[in-house]
Amino acid sequence: MTDTPDPIPEVAHGPRITPRLVDALYREAMLLADEARAYFDVEGRRDRAELPAAARVAFAGESLKVTTRVMHIVAWLLTQKAIEGGEIARGTSAVQERRLGHANPPEADLLPALPAEAQRLINLSTDLYERVKRLDENEHDPAPVESPARALLGRLQRDLGG
Q: Which of 61-70, 75-84, 144-153 has the lowest mean pLDDT?
A: 144-153
* Dihedral-angle region of residue 161 (phi above 0 means left; psi in -120 to 50 means alpha; beta otherwise): left
Judged against a pLDDT cut of 70, whether residue 1 lies above it is answered with no
Tens of pLDDT along 74-90? Answer: 999 999 999 888 898 87
Contact 27, 21 (CB under 8 A): no
Smallest CA-to-CA distance from 92 within 75, 80, 110 is with: 80
| CB within 8 Å of 108: residues ≥ 6 apart | none
pLDDT, average across residues 20-33: 97
C-alpha atoms less than 13 angstroms from C-alpha of 80 in its C-beta half-sphere:
24
The pLDDT tens digits of the residues spanning 92-145 come to: 556 777 899 999 999 999 999 999 999 999 999 999 999 999 999 988 765 555
Distance in angstroms (rounded) separating the CA atoms of residues 71 and 31: 12
Amino acid at 155: R
Burial class (CB in 10 A: 0-12, 13-18, 19+), 155: exposed
Q: What is the 3-state secondary structure (H, E, C) of 77-129?
A: HHHHHHHHCCCCCHHHHHCHHHCCCCCCCCCCCCHHHCCHHHHHHHHHHHHHH
Say what the pTM is: 0.76
Number of H helices, E strands in the chain: 5, 2
CA triplet 104, 106, 109: central angle to 5 degrees?
Answer: 135
Domains in the chain: boundaries: 15-159
Assign domain 15-159 one CATH number from 3.20.20.370, 3.30.390.50, 3.40.50.720, 1.10.8.930: 1.10.8.930
